Structure 1
Amino acid sequence: MRRAMGVFLIWAAGMGLLAALLVGAGLAMHYWKQPLAQEATTVTVESGQSMPGIAASIHEVQPAIPARAIDWTARFRGQARSIQAGEYEIRPGERLASLLDRMVAGDVIEYRFTVPEGITAQGFLDRLAEAPRIRRTIEELTPEAVIESLDLPVDHLEGWLYPDTYQYPAGTSDRTLIKRAFRQMREALDAAWAARADDLPLDDPYEALILASVIEKETGISGERGEVAGVFVNRLRRGMRLQTDPTVIYGMGDDYDGRLYSRHLREDTPYNTYTRDGLPPTPIALPSAASIEAATRPAETDAFYFVADGTGGHAFSRTLKEHNRAVARWRIHQREQGDRP
């Protein structure tokens, strides 16, 4: 009798355990099928945060799923110790298993800010200051403060930040993105300089960067960059002044109001290539990879002059006489458009 009773108790305990497991499995399936959100929302995993803490954050988004169930699910799936820090989007209708998989993969929200080609280094920093979810570590975003804070091996920041669209997760520091931009420009310049054409009238990669910035400001037409570079290279070889308006404008700084007059071309500054020989002392903008390529591998041309042609491009001339005719046509176009300086 006692033996039978013992067998019965063991059987009953086993059935109870099985029932509990079935109930638990049923609840787990219910929770796993439960959508976390009907609309897109976010949840943040802090660096070093425990699994119970992460579960609590997810529970706040979907109170119908107990935090303990979320915690147990992550542990049951072997993911509790593999979740990466960051900000995650919970997609409409997404289930818990999908979110945990993406947290393990580090599929964090990516923010972005775009730096167009041809703006200045200060323009880059101004855009960075307005970019979302950046961790600010540099008190004043000026070229001088950046060089000092990051201990960059340059005297002047202009030209050294690569224009691009930068993607980053929330909490990325300003210095991280500046270092990335500086590294990309250095790599692009070094690669172009290593593959440069023979007999360039440039002494080092920095002079190539300066020339590239001038090319960038002179034309936004990709097919013209090489020929514009060829003109500048021809003038440098012959000892002619570059006589390019963008350098004058850069040298005017805040005094430039959008209009350039002939008197400005006569006012001497270190950047006035009408009054000074050779390249300006520093870049005048952030050049694109295409302009760097043009500066180091210019097109073969016999032109020494160019001027706007009224169509968005330029007319290139071999002699001053041809150039003067092109300038006259440009001035007629300006008058017709009512653009009298």
Structure 2
Amino acid sequence: MSNEKKGFPKFLKIILIIVFVAAAIVGYLGYQAFLGPSVTDKEAYLYVHTGDTYADVLAELEQKQIVKNVRFFDYAAQAMDYPVAVKPGKYKLTPGLSNRRLIGNLRGGYQEAVKFRFENIRLKENFAALLGKNFEADSAAFLRLLDNADVAEKYGFTTANFFSMFIPNTYEIYWNTAPDKIVARFHDEYNKFWNTERKDKAAALNLTPEEVSILASIVKGEALHKDEMPKIAGLYLNRLKRGILLQADPTVIFANNDFTIRRVLNKHLTIDNPYNTYRFKGLPPGPIMLPSIAAIDAVLNYEKHDYIYMCAKDDFSGYHNFAVTQAEHMVNARKFQRALDARNIKK
């Protein structure tokens, strides 16, 4: 029988089958390592800290089960030279994302910015804690900056009024941004906020932007309703113009450092503290809280009237009764005191 009629050698068939199976396995493994769904739904973000090595990233992926198979990720990462291109950041994780896409994001540093919003912040310590919760640096690092006289002076503030530089709003900032860079970003936004129009309105009140913010913090402390802010601002501006003590209860609470006070008593008014506007004339040295944009604009666009007294309404609606004379004010004050007594609010 001729060679042409002979069957294909059996050993070659076996070799071809082995090669085919091996190629299929390699192809499957390659697909899984590079292109197959890899990212799980265990975590929403991967945090790569400043100074982290590739080994740190790999350990984080394995510990938190961020990828289905960490060996496949490692194989793809090595092939894509990621171990020498680790970049810190907060990276969004999409379930089903392939290793190739994930590694591409990590290599390129394509992180998602933090949408940071703040308002109703009372103390620098509260603000530092919020910053530390949202960004890589801890709260202590932020507090050191907020208390640093040189940093405050660099931006044209004192340590007392530096807090007014931070305008409550929504900001997009990368998670691993250094604290000093974040502060610089807030300063840029402060300058944008205090445009020519706002500066001119402040000058018309014979106030600096910092003083407007201090007064706005008092207005914010007094007002539960935004629509009443311009009237309250007008009242305090009347007192400032006439040289009358502001006698603002929120400043007394701040001076006593007791934010549980619901009823300001005579004992609270005796504290020797520059924030006690029952004893010290004019504005306190700094804001008693971060004023809202609404409160700042309420001062700049205050309601013109002759009121110099106000007292919370006895219906506890959060609104106030306003008065021109002390006699009118005492009538309103007695109503409110009786309402407090009726509710057994003693302090």
Match of 1:92 among 86, 95, 98: 95
Residues 1:329 and 2:332 aligned together:
no
Shift of 1:239: 2.9
Question: Map of 1:30-49 to 2, 5 A cutoff?
Answer: 30-41=32-43, 43=46
Deviates further, 214-223 or 279-288: 279-288
Which residue of the partner structure matches residue 298 of structure 1?
Answer: 302
Q: Could you say if the C-alpha distance between residues 142 and 317 of structure 1 is closer, same or farther in structure 2, counting changes exceeding 3 Å?
A: farther
Question: Map of 1:1-341 to 2, 5 A cutoff?
Answer: 28-41=30-43, 43=46, 61=67, 62-63=69-70, 65=72, 67-72=74-79, 74=80, 85-100=88-103, 102-103=105-106, 106-108=109-111, 115-129=118-132, 131=133, 134-136=136-138, 141-142=143-144, 145-148=147-150, 151-156=154-159, 157-164=162-169, 168-190=173-195, 193-194=198-199, 196=201, 199-200=204-205, 202-253=206-257, 258=261, 260-309=264-313, 310-341=316-347
Report if aligned partners of 1:197, 1:297 keep a CA contact under 8 Å in 2.
no
Which residue of the partner structure matches residue 11 of structure 1?
Answer: none
Shift of 1:142: 4.9
Deviates further, 39-48 or 153-162: 39-48
Q: Could you say if the C-alpha distance between residues 98 and 277 of structure 1 is closer, same or farther in structure 2, counting changes exceeding 3 Å?
A: same
CA distance in structure 1 between the partners assigned to 2:274 and 2:50 by the alignment:
50
CA distance in structure 2 between the partners assigned to 1:63 and 1:214 by the alignment:
55
Unaligned runs of 5+ in 1: 1-18
CA distance in structure 1 between the partners assigned to 2:150 and 2:129 by the alignment:
18
Deviates further, 159-168 or 270-279: 159-168
Report if aligned partners of 1:43, 1:89 keep a CA contact under 8 Å in 2.
yes
Shift of 1:237: 2.4
> Quick one: percent identity of the two aligned structures?
25
CA distance in structure 2 between the partners assigned to 1:177 and 1:237 by the alignment:
37
Q: Calculate the aligned-residue CA RMSD, in Å.
A: 4.3
TM-score relative to the length of structure 1: 0.72
CA distance in structure 2 between the partners assigned to 1:279 and 1:47 by the alignment:
43
Q: Deviations over 1:184-218 (max 9, x none)?
A: 34543456632527842x33222212211111211
Q: Deviations over 1:86-125 (max 9, x none)?
A: 2434433322344245446744355677643250223322
Report if aligned partners of 2:39, 2:95 keep a CA contact under 8 Å in 1.
yes
Report if aligned partners of 2:220, 2:291 keep a CA contact under 8 Å in 1.
yes
TM-score relative to the length of structure 2: 0.71
CA distance in structure 2 between the partners assigned to 1:300 and 1:37 by the alignment:
60
Q: Deviations over 1:250-297 (max 9, x none)?
A: 33347x763631243355543332233322233222211111111222
CA distance in structure 1 between the partners assigned to 2:86 and 2:222 by the alignment:
50
CA distance in structure 1 between the partners assigned to 2:248 and 2:138 by the alignment:
38
Q: Could you say if the C-alpha distance between residues 139 and 54 of structure 1 is closer, same or farther in structure 2, counting changes exceeding 3 Å?
A: closer
Report if aligned partners of 2:89, 2:109 keep a CA contact under 8 Å in 1.
yes
Deviates further, 207-216 or 31-40: 31-40
1:326 maps to amino acid: N
1:99 maps to amino acid: L
Which residue of the partner structure matches residue 14 of structure 1?
Answer: none
Other structure's SS at 1:217 match: helix
2:148 maps to amino acid: V
Q: Could you say if the C-alpha distance between residues 318 and 135 of structure 1 is closer, same or farther in structure 2, counting changes exceeding 3 Å?
A: same
Unaligned runs of 5+ in 2: 1-19
Other structure's SS at 2:304 match: coil
